Chains A and B, each alone.
Chain A
Amino acid sequence: MVFVRIYRFFTQHKFLLYILLVLSSVVFAFFAAKAHFEEDLMKLLPKSEKSESGLVFGNIKVKDKLFMQVTGAEPEVLVGYVDELMDSILTNDEGIANTLYRLEPDMALNALDYAMMHVPSFVDTTLYARFDSAIAHADETMARNYELIMNDETGMASDLVSTDPLGLRECLMSDISGGMGFALIDGHLFSPDSTVALIFISPDFQTFDSQASHKLVSHLNQCIDQFHQAHPDVEVLMHGGAVEAVGNASTMKRDIAITIGISLVLILLYLCISFKSYNIIWQNVLPIVYGTIFALACMYWIKGGMSLMALGVGAVILGVALSYCLHIIVHQRFVGDVEQMLKDEAVPVCLGCLTTVGAFLGLMFTESELLKDFGLFATFALLGSTFFALIFLPHFLNVKDAKHSKKAFKLIDKINNYPYDRNSIIITVLCIVILIGFIFSGKVQFDNDLKHIGYESEAFQKSRDLYEEKNDQGGMQRYYAVTAADLDEALDANMVLATTLDSLRGTGDIFSYTPVASLLFQSQAEQERRIAAWQHYWTPEKVAQAMAAVKSAASKNGLSPDIFVPFQAMIEAEYEPGNLYESGIVPDGLLCNFIEETDGKFLIFNAPKFSKDKMKEVDDLVAAKPHAVVVDPLYYTGGMISLIHKDFNMALVISSIFVFLVLLISFRDIFISLLAFMPMFLSWYVVQGWMAILGLSFNMINIVISTFIFGIGVDYSIFVMKGLIERQRQEESHLLEYHKVAIFFSALVLIVVMGAMLFAKHPTIVSISECALIGMISTILITYTLQPLLFRWLMKWPYVKRRVEKIK
């Protein structure tokens, strides 16, 4: 027996054992600390067509914008409050790329100046028909001009009229006005009903950068708290990617600390009381710690790091490792002889480890980096923990220590020794449960929406709902973009997308859309076309016609016909294409809503508003356009997550085949192998069916937990099977009892911890708990009831009985 020989060797060379333990721990810890944790979930999903275009969603800044809303006072008062709050926020602008909450007074002047220098660039050819109409209606326009001029005290209105007597600006502005969707009060941005002051903050980092997100959100919250103290009657609300990410992370940490932390402490205390020893704590914890640092070091050596999400979910898998430690410790407590313990436990622990690793390694056949990371981490963690448990741990077990609480063990014995396999009610109920599971297993839903596994606080929801209510007309605003390596190419592609969106507005699928980006920004080629069109329209004859109409209308309305020299100069001037994007006129906080340069690509944004039920339809239509993308990674991840689901099903099949083959090689009997495989197989259908019945669905996270159910199911089954076989061979064997005690403690730990997780706030933790609890309970019931029952029936068959008695 190899492990017994290793044990004897290290017993004689204790120094070598300690050197190996310390050295390996230091090396693993050193490299584990160097592992990089990938926080961007998008990078972990299978590649899609869109992501192959080179666009990395995590780098797009527009989706990371933070929304702050100030409400609860008159608009004029809010203006001052917003300035005060922003002054406080901007005292430390670390992590802030730009802000938008007011338009500086010179922006309008600069924009007007630019517009005057490049008038034809803003005139779409379809507008010339409106120009004709404006010339034809010069008299009416001039009557309005007269009113303007007579009420003018500074000369500014007169300047405007002399440059544009026909009101051509109205033809241009009718499309742009309202496009921003904001009201302006004293230069500050407000919701259209002027009740909520708006602040937009663009971070200079990605939302998945948790450290930077945490720092910025903490700073913002601190400023808001200070502001609340000074103005308790005013409410400041905030939402956005970084706020959600920080809320998610802190809720998850708090939930884990409270539920898993407290329940684990209670369980370990129970173990201490049951075994009348505190050593049981470190004896269980050390192998897991060793396995974890070994796994992290391996991840660093193989790929430099791993997904943080995979690490989080992988932590649950350590429950399987805990089960092996418990088997070794409990068995040692009963037999009081390390070599005997190793003889009894090494094979089932190794077999359990091998089959569980097989279940995890099936994930390597998937396309998802998340699943691969999870599979690798779980594999190495189990191997490391099992290695520690079989090589190092036996040397730290007290050979004479067989103390345990008789009261506690009396209860355990009562539970373990109950003849579940002879209770027809339990058997019948369990069979019905399994049958129902089979029937409904196909009905379990897979939730593709990653939003459903995130946590949103009440304050976050309130902020988002208020924003949607005030600004999105009860619907939703969604960003669509075109992307290209060259700005001009992107601008030309955007005109095609704008036309599509505009036609959807025409059909009523979109209830609000202003193609602001395509109205303001045009490619050089398009500007040249428009300048040519301008010159083609303003022929000397047309200029004469327009000037005659203007002068005649001016005379009729009591205005001097000589004041329109600027107008004539404007329509006769020579124009060149401009570059508004690089002019510096549009402030960064505003510009980033229209154009963004990221990863060497230009993105042009469009933000239509529509009812939520139209989202999928509009998304699909836009996504089908060349160069166009839906600026919501979740749109693409839906498909990718489905792919993970399909991948996962394939991985389960591969794992099942592997596990069954290992069982077959180990037991060398098809019936016993099938019997050992049964709990894992049946419990998977019970999980699926009962999740469907209880209205629970799988998601990207809790589906991974099914490998845990597989792992633990097959382990319990192997230990019970070994016990049953041993009892069949020697009636006085206590192996089954010892294994059942270990299983009891292992199951108790996992069920209590998982049960406590049901009280978490975070939906992901709750979904893991629900899925794992159903799986755990069904696995234990099948292992304790059906496995011994079927084994007993099998033993009535002399052929099988003879074969079983030969199994070593």
Chain B
Amino acid sequence: MKKILTVVIVMLAFAASAQKVEARFTESKFIKASGKTVEAEGNLKLFSADKMELRYTKPAGDYFIIDGKTMSSNLRGKKSVVDTEKNASMRTYRNTLMNCVNANWKQAATDNNAESSVVEKGANKVVTLRAKKAAPRGYSKIVITYRKFDNIPVELVFEEFNGTVTTYKISNIVKK
């Protein structure tokens, strides 16, 4: 009986993680070093637990795609394809992003050597991850606001050790 229940739970979890989500997003990157803020926006598609794409409408043509272990991007015409198996920091970056989007913040906290805290605010819950120690790379702080009823993020804030803060706001969420 226990085994059957385990299988059912795994299958449900897989079905949930495999759900397709489409949404609009805005991206705001504040570069502390220069004091500049770079704005961008586009469409987000979450296909499964390890596949996600951000296609920018501003600047048009830019994209950022995670497909399994591969990360592809085109940022201001600079294209790159990274095999995260060969790149530890990109692997951490990819895992952190996917775990945050998929509401697996505990794993994101472990990967980033961070402490996590959760605060409920109305219909949302706010998860905060704080790095225990400064590091050459990674995030000093991550704040994710999820919709309480389906754990889909509506805002993600990534703060780097050099003070650069990137904020994603997600709207028009459609589950398919």
A interface residues with partner B (beta carbon < 8 Å): 104-106, 109-110, 113, 116-117, 149-150, 152-155, 158-159, 161-163, 559-560, 562-570, 573, 583-585
Establish whether residues A564 and B83, one from each chain, have CB atoms under 8 Å apart when the complex forms: no
Interface class of chain B by DSSP: mixed
**Distance of A749 from chain B, by nearest CB (Å):** 67
**B134 part of interface (Cβ distance < 8 Å):** yes
**Distance of B13 from chain A, by nearest CB (Å):** 32
Task: Report the number of A-B residue pairs with Cβ-Cβ less than 8 Å.
Answer: 97
Establish whether residues A109 and B76, one from each chain, have CB atoms under 8 Å apart when the complex forms: no
Set A153, A163, A560: member contacting B163, Cβ < 8 A? A560
**Given A110-B82, A560-B33, does the pair A159, B87 have CB atoms closer than 8 Å?**
no
**Given A150-B34, A154-B76, A563-B32, does the pair A570, B164 have CB atoms closer than 8 Å?**
no
15 contacts between A and B (CB under 8 A): A104-B81, A110-B83, A117-B89, A150-B34, A152-B34, A154-B75, A155-B29, A162-B33, A562-B32, A562-B163, A565-B162, A566-B134, A566-B162, A569-B133, A585-B86
Q: How far is the CA of A563 from the CA of B161 in the complex (A)?
A: 7
Establish whether residues A566 and B90, one from each chain, have CB atoms under 8 Å apart when the complex forms: no
Establish whether residues B87 and A113, one from each chain, have CB atoms under 8 Å apart when the complex forms: yes
B4-12, B42-50, B135-143: which lies at the interface: B135-143
Q: How far is the CA of A575 from the CA of B110 in the complex (A)?
A: 20
Contacts of A567 in B (CB 8 A): 136
**Distance of A561 from chain B, by nearest CB (Å):** 11
**B79 part of interface (Cβ distance < 8 Å):** yes
**B80 part of interface (Cβ distance < 8 Å):** yes
Q: Which residue of A lies closest to B163 (CB)?
A: A563
Q: Map CB proximity to A onto B1-45 as digits: 1 under 8 Å, 0 otherwise.
A: 000000000000000000000000000010111101010000000
Establish whether residues B80 and A159, one from each chain, have CB atoms under 8 Å apart when the complex forms: no
**Distance of A108 from chain B, by nearest CB (Å):** 9
Interface class of chain A by DSSP: helix
Q: Quick one: which of A110, A161, A163 has the most chain B CB within 10 A?
A: A110
**Given A152-B31, A560-B32, does the pair A573, B136 have CB atoms closer than 8 Å?**
yes
Contacts of A563 in B (CB 8 A): 32-33, 162-163
Contacts of B133 in A (CB 8 A): 569
Q: How far is the CA of A109 from the CA of B160 in the complex (A)?
A: 18
Establish whether residues B31 and A155, one from each chain, have CB atoms under 8 Å apart when the complex forms: yes
Establish whether residues B76 and A117, one from each chain, have CB atoms under 8 Å apart when the complex forms: no
Set B38, B81, B89: member contacting A116, Cβ < 8 A? B89
Establish whether residues B82 and A109, one from each chain, have CB atoms under 8 Å apart when the complex forms: yes
Q: Which residue of B lies closest to A560 (CB)?
A: B32
Q: How far is the CA of A559 from the CA of B137 in the complex (A)?
A: 20
Having A110-B82, A158-B34, A560-B32, one finds 5 other A-B pairs with CB under 8 Å, namely A109-B87, A116-B89, A152-B33, A155-B31, A163-B137
**Distance of A498 from chain B, by nearest CB (Å):** 27
**B174 part of interface (Cβ distance < 8 Å):** no
Establish whether residues A566 and B135, one from each chain, have CB atoms under 8 Å apart when the complex forms: yes
Establish whether residues B82 and A106, one from each chain, have CB atoms under 8 Å apart when the complex forms: yes
Contacts of A117 in B (CB 8 A): 88-89
Contacts of B162 in A (CB 8 A): 158-159, 162-163, 563-566
Set B79, B85, B90, B160: member contacting A105, Cβ < 8 A? B79
Q: Which residue of B lies closest to A107 (CB)?
A: B86
Q: Map CB proximity to A onto B115-153 as digits: 1 under 8 Å, 0 otherwise.
A: 000000000000000000111110010000000000000
Q: Map CB proximity to A onto B82-113 as digits: 1 under 8 Å, 0 otherwise.
A: 11011111100000000000000000000000
Q: How far is the CA of A559 from the CA of B140 in the complex (A)?
A: 20
**Given A105-B80, A106-B82, does the pair A565, B90 have CB atoms closer than 8 Å?**
no
Contacts of A162 in B (CB 8 A): 33, 161-162
Set B34, B75, B88, B136: member contacting A163, Cβ < 8 A? B136
Q: Which residue of A lies closest to B133 (CB)?
A: A569
**Given A106-B83, A569-B134, A569-B136, does the pair A149, B33 have CB atoms closer than 8 Å?**
yes
Q: How far is the CA of A161 from the CA of B36 in the complex (A)?
A: 15
**Distance of A245 from chain B, by nearest CB (Å):** 36
Contacts of B83 in A (CB 8 A): 106, 110
Q: How far is the CA of A113 from the CA of B31 in the complex (A)?
A: 21
Q: How far is the CA of A113 from the CA of B84 in the complex (A)?
A: 11
Q: How far is the CA of A569 from the CA of B135 in the complex (A)?
A: 5
Q: How far is the CA of A273 from the CA of B75 in the complex (A)?
A: 84
Q: How far is the CA of A105 from the CA of B71 in the complex (A)?
A: 12
Contacts of B88 in A (CB 8 A): 113, 117
Contacts of B79 in A (CB 8 A): 105
Contacts of B163 in A (CB 8 A): 560, 562-563
Q: How far is the CA of A117 from the CA of B88 in the complex (A)?
A: 9
Q: How far is the CA of A569 from the CA of B83 in the complex (A)?
A: 26
Establish whether residues B161 and A569, one from each chain, have CB atoms under 8 Å apart when the complex forms: yes
Q: How far is the CA of A567 from the CA of B140 in the complex (A)?
A: 14
Set B80, B82, B86, B134: member contacting A565, Cβ < 8 A? B134
Contacts of B38 in A (CB 8 A): 153-155
Q: How far is the CA of A567 from the CA of B136 in the complex (A)?
A: 6
**Distance of B110 from chain A, by nearest CB (Å):** 19
Q: Quick one: which of A155, A563, A567 has the most chain B CB within 10 A?
A: A155
**Distance of A152 from chain B, by nearest CB (Å):** 6
**Distance of A159 from chain B, by nearest CB (Å):** 7
Establish whether residues A113 and B34, one from each chain, have CB atoms under 8 Å apart when the complex forms: no
Contacts of B31 in A (CB 8 A): 149, 152, 155, 158
Q: How far is the CA of A116 from the CA of B87 in the complex (A)?
A: 11
Contacts of A113 in B (CB 8 A): 87-90
Q: How far is the CA of A565 from the CA of B160 in the complex (A)?
A: 10
Q: Which residue of A lies closest to B38 (CB)?
A: A153
**Distance of A3 from chain B, by nearest CB (Å):** 78
Establish whether residues B135 and A559, one from each chain, have CB atoms under 8 Å apart when the complex forms: no
Q: Quick one: which of B29, B75, B89 has the most chain A CB within 10 A?
A: B89
Q: How far is the CA of A584 from the CA of B38 in the complex (A)?
A: 35
Establish whether residues B81 and A149, one from each chain, have CB atoms under 8 Å apart when the complex forms: no
Set A109, A150, A155: member contacting B90, Cβ < 8 A? A109
Q: Quick one: which of A104, A150, A563 has the most chain B CB within 10 A?
A: A563
Contacts of B135 in A (CB 8 A): 566, 569, 573
